[in-house]
Amino acid sequence: MRLTTMSDYAMRLLMYVGQHPDRLCTIAEVARAYDISEAHLTKITHQLSLAGWLETVRGKGGGMRLATMPQAIVLGAVVRSIEPDFNVVECLTHDTNCQLANSCHLTGIINGALQSFMQYLDRYTLADLLISTKTLAPLAASDDQAQPLHFHRLVSAPTV
C-alpha cells in the first residue's frame, strides 16, 4: 500500500506546526522549509482545518496552529481524513467488475492487512512524532548528507 503525497504533506505540515506551538505558522514558511508547493499546502491546510486538526487565522498576521493538543491527533485518523480511498485492489471498490468477487478470498486478506496498517497508525499521535523530531533535531542539523523529509523518516522540520 502506498499513501498519497497529500498524506505525506499533511504529516509534515502538522509536525511543523506542532513544533511551533508558541506562534502562528504560515503556508509560505512551511512550503519553504520543505520545498513543496504552496498550492498543495493550501489544499491540505483546508482539509486539516475541516477535519479539526488545524485552526486557521485569516488576515494580516494570520496563519495556522494546531486546533487541539498533539496527543489528541491520532495519525490513523489524520490519514483517514486525507486519503481519498483505501481501495488497495480493485475488488475493494463498491463497483468491482472482478469475476471472482463472490468466490475469492483475496479481498478479505487485503482488507485485513489494510485494517492492521490503520490500527498500527492509530497507536500513535502527533505527540509521538514531535518527541521523535525533537530528539533527532541535533542529528538532522549535523547530517552532511541530509535528505528531504518524508513522513516515514520521522526527522525534524527545519526551524525558521
Residue 152 pLDDT > 50, yes or no?
Answer: no
With residue 21 as reference, give the H or E element that holds it.
none
Fold of the CATH domain 5-151: Arc Repressor Mutant, subunit A (1.10.10)
Structure confidence at residue 91 (pLDDT): 61
Q: Domain locations in the chain?
A: 5-151
pTM of the model: 0.74
Percent of residues, the chain, with pLDDT higher than 90? 56
Question: pLDDT tens-digit profile of 92-102?
Answer: 666 666 666 66
Please state whether 63 falls in left (phi above 0), alpha (psi between -120 and 50) or beta: left
| 78-91 confidence digits (pLDDT tens) | 999 998 877 766 66
Q: What are φ and ψ of residue 125, in 5° steps?
A: -125, 175
User: Which of 2-16, 62-76, 80-94, 110-124 is predicted with the least confidence, judged by mean pLDDT?
Assistant: 80-94
Taking every pair of Cα atoms in the chain, the longest distance, rounded to a whole number of angstroms, is: 60
Is the CB of residue 157 less than 8 Å from the CB of residue 148? no
Amino acid 46: pLDDT: 95
Bridge partner residues of 63 (DSSP): 57
**Main-chain dihedrals φ then ψ at residue 155, nearest 5 degrees:** -105, 165
Structure confidence by residue, pLDDT tens digits, 112-128: 888 999 999 999 999 99
The cell numbers describing 146, all together, are: 541530509
